[in-house]
Amino acid sequence: MTKVRMPLFIALAVVLACGICGRQALAQDLAGDAQVRAIAVGHITDVSPDATSPGMYQGITGMGPNPPASGDWPCFGGSTDCAGIMAGGLVVGTPEQIWSKSCSGCGQIYYTFQTTTATGTATIAVTVTQGSPATTIFSYSGLIGTIAKNVVEVVEVGPVSFTGGVAGAATIDVSTTIGTVTIKGAAKITLH
């Protein structure tokens, strides 16, 4: 493990051990039933990033099944929603790479990001595309509320429905913008 990664892993462990210290935001997609929820895991120790750093960083991106009951995940170990999980854990749906091309409300897309100096109102965009030229088969965008500096956030969008999906590879693209800073993440899935 490099010297650069070790402080990031230590900071993440500290954040996850702290539990939930924040609010939840909900927004409704006007084009369908998809909703977004952003949950602050907690604050990390104040870091002194390089003056040229972007102020926030992309984490994991994936797609998993819907929770058995609304609000079951994502959740964080040690919180009241996740009392059976030890502090420091994150519960999300099992990441799956194979999905039905006729998926209708079949899963949720989730991702994480961390801020250092970026703070303010966050806007997200989530798309699933296929082919070349790319055809959009799922899209969601909206505000997730005000994000503080030095925090790790988990964003989930769902339920996901694919419109016009065909058998083959698809790409999930996510982006978060706070002020003038935008970060992006992606994951590959396959439709059958």
* Domain extent listing, the chain: 25-66+94-191
- Residue 20 has a pLDDT of 35
Of the chain, the end-to-end C-alpha distance in Å amounts to 38
Q: What is the pLDDT of residues 138-176, one digit of tens each?
A: 999 999 999 998 888 999 999 999 989 999 999 999 999
CA distance 30 to 54: 31
Query: In this predicted structure, what is the pLDDT of residue 51?
Result: 67
Residue 119 has pLDDT above 70, yes or no: yes
The order of strands in the sheet holding 120-130 is: 98-99, 181-191, 168-178, 120-130, 135-147
Per-residue pLDDT reduced to its tens digit, 11-56: 444 333 333 333 333 333 334 677 777 766 555 566 666 667 788 9
- Please give the class, per CATH, of domain 25-66+94-191: mainly beta
Q: What is the pLDDT of residue 134?
A: 94
Does 136 score more than 50 pLDDT?
yes
Look up residue 33 and give its two tokens. 């039933």
pLDDT above 80: residue 5: no
- Mean pLDDT score across all residues of the chain: 80
**Is 0.85 topped by the overall pTM?**
no
What gap in Å lies between CA 156 and CA 92, rounded to an integer? 9
Cα 23–chain centre separation: 15
Mean per-residue pLDDT, 105-131: 94
